[in-house]
Amino acid sequence: MAGKDSAYSAPTPHVAAPPPYTPSPSAPAAIGTSAAAAAAVAAATKRAPPPPPALKPKPKPVNYVVALFDFAAQAEGDLDFKVGDRIEVVERTDSTEDWWTGRLDGRQGVFPGM
């Protein structure tokens, strides 16, 4: 059998298998589990997102009326105006017979509803 290649190999002395690996408490985790462990730690320490900010109230739409006639203030607190003036309505009622509160040129006062 000399000179011939064979699948037979010489016997090797019997060597005992090493004991199973058991990590010590200070040993780092295995590579395959470190990512999972890190993800678990991150999930446990991750805080919930903050609540959304409170909604700001929408500003009331600004309403204007255009004066159809001249009006001269008759008492303190009245708002005088001329034909064509654009008056910002601050407070109004459903009736045009009432007095409304308005603002014109930085002045505020009441005027006959239109």
CATH number at residue 68: 2.30.30.40
In 6-114 the beta strands, taken as DSSP E runs, fall at: 63-66, 86-91, 99-104, 107-112
92 inside domain: yes
Within-domain flag for 18: no
Count how many domains the chain has. 1
**CA 74 to each of CA 40, 48, 56, 78: distance values in angstroms, whole numbers, following the listed order:** 78, 63, 40, 7
88 is a domain residue? yes
* 76 within a domain of the structure (yes/no): yes
Specify if 81 maps to a domain.
yes
Top-confidence residue, 73 or 33: 73
Does 95 fall in a domain? Answer: yes
pLDDT score recorded for residue 4: 57
Residue 8 forms part of a structural domain: no
Instruction: Show the DSSP H helices in the chain as ranges.
Output: 31-45
**Is residue 107 a part of any domain in this protein?**
yes
Residues 108 and 91: their CA atoms lie apart, in Å, by 11
pLDDT digits (tens, 9 = 90+) for 6-63: 565 666 667 788 888 877 666 555 455 566 777 777 666 778 889 999 888 888 888 9
Residue 67 belongs to what domain range? Answer: 63-112
